[in-house]
Structure 1
């Protein structure tokens, strides 16, 4: 049975691209598609949970975790590495811990290293 991967990240319209000069909206949206495709080719059932910067992110993540019941949850660098999103990151960790306590947690550094991040845990 394929391991289920839920990737939590910011929607492209929620990203402040001046903080990530190597990215554009188009590159990021392409990476979202490429990441799911790459994970599927490597035997994973992967889905994105793309959120805003906090207005509804917790609720969206909560409902998606309950629906998907992932084996691995990857939190993207856009949430994790930006100090402005520290509180959102902390809230997401606690939601995962409470509602998907058996899931492994993985972190990528950019969308293109998500496979390696997931493979570390499953």
Structure 2
């Protein structure tokens, strides 16, 4: 990636707000730990030359779509990264669909990338930026 080609607000980073997760499914993980991991990953993205807008969403699909629209109004984005917490949990399938379709409506042609954890976000973005 050529860092000079990364424009302000290029990446829309989308994930569940740490307060929206059911931690009983994730032994050894709690809200404070996840928040710290997300914050560290976002700092690493910025250090790597990415300009990002972080969009941490509620789990309820309608409220999440509204918040996504608000986040997307903050810039023009070439890439949207949708986190694993939304995509990989079966109970969030409707939420994932709603977000993809909302982005398709408000940002036609946007590219999508997907991580498997906060720590793999840079790798996911480098595939498309």
Q: Say whether 1:38 aligns with 2:36.
A: no
Q: Which has the larger radius of gyration?
A: 2
Aligned to 1:71: 78
Q: How does 1:3-82 map to 2 (within 5 A)?
A: 3=7, 4-54=10-60, 55-82=62-89
CA shift for structure 1 position 20: 2.4
Q: Say whether 1:2 aligns with 2:9.
A: no
* Unpaired segments ≥5 residues, structure 1: none
| Aligned equivalents of 2:115, 2:26: Cα separation in 1 | 15
- Listed one character per residue, the Cα deviations across residues 13-49 of structure 1 (whole Å, up to 9, x for unaligned) are 1011122225221221112211111111111101210
> What CA RMSD, in Å, does the superposition of the two structures yield over aligned residues?
1.4
Whether the 8 Å CA contact 1:7–1:48 is kept in 2: the answer is yes
* Unpaired segments ≥5 residues, structure 2: none
| Aligned equivalents of 2:33, 2:78: Cα separation in 1 | 27
Whether the 8 Å CA contact 1:66–1:99 is kept in 2: the answer is no
| Aligned equivalents of 2:31, 2:22: Cα separation in 1 | 10
| Aligned equivalents of 1:112, 1:26: Cα separation in 2 | 16
Aligned residues: 122
- Structure 1 segments, 4+ long, off by >6 Å, are none
